[in-house]
Amino acid sequence: MTALWVMIAGALGAMGRFSLDRVIERAFHRPTVAGIVVVNLVGSFVLGAIIGASVHTGGGSPLPHLSTTTSVALTAGLCGGFTTFSTAMADTLRLFQDGRSGQALFHLFGTFAGAVMCCQLGYAFFA
């Protein structure tokens, strides 16, 4: 049963990623790696928040305590489906192939550093 909820949440996450990415590309009026960067940063923040909410012991988190199934569906499903590693790597490759090696390296490591910070922010705020 948990697997079904994970898949449903994953579908919602993937649709959310696709929508946000497309909205950002439309705002930029050109193909851009910014969409997936924003998706991965936001997704990491939300993941940290959910993990924080699921480990907290009743002390002051703004989020309610989550059952195991809900927690797995939201983390592995929703956030896992929302964020994407493969497209981030393809975007980095695209920057390298365009000859923008500096941007590619910043995209690769800078985005990840940002994602770790967003995750910790979410965790710290909601734990």
Angle between helical axes of 34-55 and 111-126 (0-180°, round to 10): 30
Rg of the chain in Å (alpha carbons): 16
Q: How far is the CB of 51 from another protein (least distance, A)?
A: 6
Among 67, 85, 101, 110, binds another protein (CB under 8 A): 85
Within residues 28-47, the interface with another protein by CB under 8 A covers 29-32, 40, 43-44, 46-47
Query: ∠ CA(117), CA(33), CA(114), 5° rounding?
Result: 5
Q: How many CA atoms lie within 13 A of 46 on its CB side?
A: 19
Residues that bind another protein (CB under 8 A): 3, 6-15, 17-19, 22, 25-26, 29-32, 40, 43-44, 46-48, 51, 75-77, 79-90, 92-94, 96-98, 108-109, 112, 115-116, 118-120, 123
